Structure 1
């Protein structure tokens, strides 16, 4: 293969978004490991749904992708309730003077829209096979692909997930801490309308969240995300999706979602181990990491994918703003990307890890102080506005 400006390893949502954005910026891009997104389910929703913040939505809209999503399957979050220790912190889109606090959409739906856009983008070449071997000579990567062909580039992007091979090839170290928890997801039907409200509670059984989904066929639906201790997660998975519902019942009061009951399973349970993980650097000679390849945080804030998309935005801005004499893999250019992402990535890592520690089972003695802090924050409008603004991502990407 002829030399490419950029080669991306990893054909998931972040990798596809990076390929499209860079190609639209005028670079020649080769995306390896790009497989078509799954078709929309005949009924119900796909298992993987994400809360897209305002920065991610604006980015996808700028790529002309957001408008291609089936809007009848995208749920705006009008309100959010975060509860713990008998206290609650509530956010309202109207009170914050914003259209929505977030938008809940299926990962596969976003990928299908990206696939469509990439078909018409001349600067992007997609191959289904991944990168099998990689060697860097100090100026250029020689990449052996799954079909035996060799691609050459001055910039290799790792968008290949938490077990990134690109990270290993570039010799980038990793800080990793298992949480001893498993993330469980399952779509549920509920008896009454959710009103566009997202619920989250810190409980002795882990962090439990209910994300609103658009009604389908007259049925009200939510997506359950439960960060459960490993032993409990094993029990819940063994009980199956229908067996999960009775276990959720005892936590509905804490969530503030009891009025939505009864619940019924509308899909199977998905599961993944929860870890805190950060690459020791987002860049190395001729290399940059995106998304989970660079950082994995606890899902309690729902910002993992948003961080990855904001990585892409920052990298595109740096590459398009480089000097005429600077190559895309220039060390000075890549250092600017690393600096641009350092503050937000570290801030969310500290915030999510700190909350996980604060509400750990062994910290129950802090419950009165935690409740006081949560209730106090709920009455501080300027602080709530600041928190909502940071969560939107717009203040970071401005």
Structure 2
């Protein structure tokens, strides 16, 4: 059986589903293919272990797709404050005021109601699936992977694992960091593995829902708190949160091997004093940390987006926000190609997409690597530099607001304070 579509999107995660919805709204006939079944949501279940900090820019995009109301109907947590501080003690620390190592961003200072939302990935994905299902020109082929992609001068043919064939002008790879589409296109990647892993822990704590997300930086890596939602009537007075602990692979393996009670004790000792009193650990998982960038974003009738094109250090949870920016840009480029009566895979059009997104993605990689190197380095001058940098951002509202606006997806340009702090760091000029 063969079906014809304008566009075939491989990968129905958050970025793939957003693109399918947006392109469907523009009138393209779209097939969205994914081996996984449709996402589900159980309001009584514990939170998804995977959560993201959706920026204000991503919220606007999701609203434009008709997905945000679906997401709000499940569960989201707005955060109004974001704090960063340095927990590394060193003799040079005594030369500086204690407050110089901390900076806090506040929505009130930006004349906005919130800085962003902490949302479970499965909730965002399901909201986007609902939006995609509402588009008549979008066909969702769930529970079916791809086995091959063949290209000619006129079209591409995607063969599914069940033998179905889809013909299309353009294949979009939105199938994640281990993208099969990228491999089938023969596109290589540059990859930098960090010396840390991240452990994510879903917890309950005593107290109301917090409106702040924070990261304390230790010599072994950052430790972060992301607020979630009320734990409900079964746990009166308790709320849920997601914790992130970065450390060496050996230490993460040790922490994962502990019982819940032992891990709870380690967290209470190892996290900053700002951590609320924990009452229960619900789930835990760990993953390696790597920066990865495709050597090119397209080849023939195949184009990459989201994690298939790039992954970054997850320090600030910006990965999905970059993916949504990719989706908006690619949607705009394809809309212009159709308006001009051009082939959707015209090289100059796909090159325009890459020329817009590669520098923007590299800037965010640069920013996250700058933080990683600055805060994981025990060399005294770097310790002094990061404290002075945090103190500068803290003391100057203009600098602080520029950093916040960049993180929120409002400004596209990397703030000068970050560029200056990172200018002497090694390894940040790779493609």
Q: In structure 2, which of residues 351, 354, 357 is the aligned counterpart of residue 338 of structure 1?
A: 354
Q: 1:207 & 1:310 partners in 2: Cα distance?
A: 26
CA pair 39-306 structure 1, distance change in 2 beyond 3 A = same
Q: Secondary structure at the match of 1:94?
A: helix
* Deviation at residue 110 of structure 1 after TM alignment: 1.7
Partner of 1:249: 268
Q: In structure 2, which of residues 152, 158, 162 is the aligned counterpart of residue 147 of structure 1?
A: 162
For the pair 1:328 / 2:351, whether they are aligned, the reply is: no
Partner of 1:381: 397
Q: Secondary structure at the match of 2:389?
A: helix
Answer whether contact 2:202 2:240 (CA < 8 A) is retained.
yes
Summarize deviations over 1:330-362 as a string: whole Å, max 9, x none: 111111111121222010111111221222255
CA pair 242-345 structure 1, distance change in 2 beyond 3 A = farther
Q: 2:218 & 2:171 partners in 1: Cα distance?
A: 42
Partner of 2:20: 19
Q: Secondary structure at the match of 2:207?
A: coil
Q: In structure 2, which of residues 131, 134, 148 is the aligned counterpart of residue 120 of structure 1?
A: 134
Q: 2:280 & 2:396 partners in 1: Cα distance?
A: 38
Partner of 2:68: 66
Q: 2:152 & 2:261 partners in 1: Cα distance?
A: 55
CA pair 139-180 structure 1, distance change in 2 beyond 3 A = farther
CA pair 138-383 structure 1, distance change in 2 beyond 3 A = same
* Deviation at residue 245 of structure 1 after TM alignment: 2.2
Answer whether contact 2:220 2:376 (CA < 8 A) is retained.
no
Q: 1:10 & 1:172 partners in 2: Cα distance?
A: 17
For the pair 1:191 / 2:210, whether they are aligned, the reply is: no
For the pair 1:280 / 2:295, whether they are aligned, the reply is: yes
Answer whether contact 1:179 1:275 (CA < 8 A) is retained.
yes
Q: Secondary structure at the match of 2:32?
A: strand
Answer whether contact 2:209 2:229 (CA < 8 A) is retained.
no
Q: 1:141 & 1:26 partners in 2: Cα distance?
A: 20
Partner of 1:267: 282
Aligned length: 393
In structure 1, the gaps of 5 or more residues are none
CA pair 126-72 structure 1, distance change in 2 beyond 3 A = closer
* Deviation at residue 251 of structure 1 after TM alignment: 3.5
Matches within 5 A, 1:337-356: 337-356=353-372
Partner of 1:227: 246
Summarize deviations over 1:235-282 as a string: whole Å, max 9, x none: 1111144433222223333xx514x2x213342102211101000111
Partner of 2:8: 7
Q: 1:363 & 1:300 partners in 2: Cα distance?
A: 21
Q: 1:244 & 1:107 partners in 2: Cα distance?
A: 25
* Deviation at residue 228 of structure 1 after TM alignment: 2.0
Answer whether contact 1:77 1:103 (CA < 8 A) is retained.
yes
Answer whether contact 1:50 1:105 (CA < 8 A) is retained.
yes
Q: 2:24 & 2:411 partners in 1: Cα distance?
A: 26
Partner of 2:51: 49
Summarize deviations over 1:38-60 as a string: whole Å, max 9, x none: 33252432212111001111011
Answer whether contact 1:241 1:269 (CA < 8 A) is retained.
no
Answer whether contact 1:188 1:221 (CA < 8 A) is retained.
yes
RMSD: 1.9
* 313-322 or 211-220, larger mean C-alpha shift: 211-220
CA pair 72-20 structure 1, distance change in 2 beyond 3 A = closer
